[in-house]
């Protein structure tokens, strides 16, 4: 009798425990689940609903508008310009972030200098990354001002004859903006690639030399091959982030002059908070979301393939 009841008790206790164990992870995750529902799922549903209605936010009872806003956007020439600008800005940024990041990382990984010298250079090279986009925007507006230091240096060196309106001419603004973004973003690549370089065992290079590889070959078959997973995932993350870049564009050119630097983000922002056309802005926001999600799927797929 006694043994029976104690066994029953035990099994009762263990089912209770296993139920508790099943529930525990959800208890730990509940604050996150609640926050993500309120901050992510609900807003995304909202913005999708907004994009199919007329006059949301401004009108208390908006009516259903179908895909009108999407059609309007897809027909809008400014939107096409924004897509082109965003792609140019993003692709050039990612390419040069990678090129500069890898070059600087390899320089900093050299064996011919003392560690103290290298860490001094490393701090200088990381500097652009400690500044927030607003500060970077203001600093470069100062430097690229027609009367600023860049034009002074270029005219003094006789590279250009006239002062150039870097950020307010349709000819130069997009390139200047892309240059600024390249300057501000390469440290992120550099630090990751440097960590990756330090993880490549010296024996691999020795083995390559013994096999008769020259410098270019050992760069191609050892350095690049070993860093490839980092390079691919950094490039994808950078692509996703750069497509979304808003503050730098907004604070340097505001998308101008005459849409010369209009990006998907500034285009959407202006629709919402300059024209108060929240419905059309929502449609644009949904398009940006779909583009980003496609990139994210690629990223996750790539990460999985690497596992």
Per CB under 8 A, contacts with other proteins among 229-258 are 229-230, 233-234, 237, 240, 243-244, 246-247, 250-251
Position 96 contacts other proteins (CB under 8 A): no
Position 148 contacts other proteins (CB under 8 A): yes
Q: 68-73 long-range contacts, Cβ below 8 Å, gap at least 24?
A: 69/279, 69/280, 69/282, 69/283, 70/283, 70/287, 72/280, 72/283, 73/280, 73/283, 73/284, 73/287
Position 154 contacts other proteins (CB under 8 A): no
d(CA 261, CA 255): 4
Q: Which residue reads 């596992």 in tokens? A: 307
Position 214 contacts other proteins (CB under 8 A): no
Task: Report 106-135 residues binding other proteins (CB under 8 A).
Answer: 107-108, 110, 112-113, 121, 123-128, 130-135
Least distance from C-beta 1 to other proteins, angstroms? Answer: 28
Least distance from C-beta 221 to other proteins, angstroms? Answer: 21
Contact 51, 290 (CB under 8 A): no
Q: How far is CA 271 from CA 60, 104, 127, 284, 285, in A?
A: 19, 40, 35, 9, 10
Task: Report 54-73 residues binding other proteins (CB under 8 A).
Answer: 56-57
Largest CA distance in the chain: 104
Q: Which one of 3, 4, 5, 32 is in contact with other proteins (CB under 8 A)? A: 32
Least distance from C-beta 92 to other proteins, angstroms? Answer: 17
d(CA 302, CA 307): 9
Q: Which one of 1, 31, 114, 212 is in contact with other proteins (CB under 8 A)? A: 31
Q: Which one of 168, 257, 295, 302 is in contact with other proteins (CB under 8 A)? A: 295
Please choose, out of 87-95, 100-108, 166-174, 254-262, the segment that lies near other proteins by the rule CB under 8 A: 100-108
Least distance from C-beta 91 to other proteins, angstroms? Answer: 18
Position 274 contacts other proteins (CB under 8 A): no
Q: CB-wise, 3 or 214, nearer to other proteins?
A: 214
Please choose, out of 67-75, 89-97, 137-145, 165-173, the segment that lies near other proteins by the rule CB under 8 A: 137-145
Position 191 contacts other proteins (CB under 8 A): yes
| 243-272 core/surface letters (b: 16 or more CB in 10 A; e: else) | bebeebbbbbbebbbebbbbbbbbbbbbbb
The site for other proteins, by CB under 8 A, has a size of 93
d(CA 213, CA 211): 6
Least distance from C-beta 300 to other proteins, angstroms? Answer: 6
Number of Cβ within 10 Å of residue 108's Cβ equals 20
Helices 278-306 and 225-243: crossing angle in degrees, nearest 10, is 170
């Amino acid at each position: 009798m006694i043994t029976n009841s104690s066994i029953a008790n035990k099994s009762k206790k263990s089912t209770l425990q296993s139920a508790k164990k099943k529930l525990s992870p959800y208890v730990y995750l509940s604050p996150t689940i609640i926050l993500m529902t309120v901050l992510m799922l609900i807003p995304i549903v909202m913005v999708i609903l907004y994009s199919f209605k007329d006059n949301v936010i401004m009108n208390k009872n908006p009516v259903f508008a179908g895909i009108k806003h999407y059609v309007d956007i897809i027909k809008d020439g400014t939107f096409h310009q924004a897509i082109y600008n965003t792609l140019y800005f993003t692709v050039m940024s990612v390419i040069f972030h990678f090129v500069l990041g890898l070059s600087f990382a390899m320089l900093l990984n050299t064996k011919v200098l003392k560690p103290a010298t290298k860490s001094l250079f490393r701090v200088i090279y990381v500097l652009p990354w400690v500044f927030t986009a607003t500060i970077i925007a203001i600093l470069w507006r100062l430097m690229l001002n027609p009367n600023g230091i860049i034009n002074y240096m270029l005219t003094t060196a006789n590279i250009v004859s006239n002062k150039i309106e870097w950020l307010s001419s349709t000819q130069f603004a997009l390139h200047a903006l892309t240059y600024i973004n390249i300057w501000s973003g390469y440290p992120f690549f550099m630090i990751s690639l440097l960590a990756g370089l330090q993880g490549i065992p010296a024996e691999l290079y020795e083995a390559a030399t013994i096999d008769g590889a020259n410098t270019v070959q050992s760069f191609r078959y050892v350095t690049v091959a070993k860093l490839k997973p980092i390079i691919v995932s950094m490039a994808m993350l950078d692509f996703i982030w750069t497509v979304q870049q808003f503050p730098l564009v907004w604070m340097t050119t505001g998308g101008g002059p005459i849409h010369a630097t209009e990006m998907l983000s500034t285009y959407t922002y202006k629709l919402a908070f300059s024209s108060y056309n929240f419905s059309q802005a929502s449609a644009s926001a949904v398009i940006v979301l779909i583009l980003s999600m496609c990139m994210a799927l690629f990223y996750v797929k790539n990460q999985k393939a690497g596992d």
